[in-house]
Chain A
Amino acid sequence: SQTIHQWPATLVQPVGSPLSLECTVEGTSNPNLYWYRQAAGRGLQLLFYSVGIGQISSEVPQNLSASRPQDRQFILSSKKLLLSDSGFYLCAWRVAGTGDTQYFGPGTRLTVL
Chain B
Amino acid sequence: AQSVTQLDSHVSVSEGTPVLLRCNYSSSYSPSLFWYVQHPNKGLQLLLKYTSAATLVKGINGFEAEFKKSETSFHLTKPSAHMSDAAEYFCAAGGNNRLAFGKGNQVVVIP
Contacts and interface: CB of A to CB of B under 8 A. Distances in A.
A108 to B, nearest CB: 10
Nearest to B9: A41
A90 interface: yes
B56 interface: no
Which range contains the number of A residues in contact with the other chain?
A: 20 to 34
B43 A32 contact: no
Interface stretch (A11-19, A42-50, A65-73, A75-83): A42-50
Interface of A: 32, 34, 42-44, 46, 49, 51, 88, 90, 92, 94, 96, 99-107, 109
14 contacts: A34-B98, A44-B101, A92-B44, A96-B97, A99-B32, A99-B94, A100-B95, A100-B98, A101-B34, A101-B46, A104-B36, A104-B45, A107-B42, A107-B43
Given A49-B98, A92-B44, A104-B36, 19 more contacts: A32-B97, A44-B90, A44-B101, A46-B98, A49-B97, A90-B43, A94-B97, A100-B31, A100-B32, A100-B95, A100-B97, A100-B98, A100-B99, A101-B32, A101-B94, A104-B44, A106-B42, A107-B43, A109-B41
Please name the 3 residue pairs, one residue from A and one from B, whose CB atoms are nearest each other, closest first. A100-B94, A104-B43, A104-B44
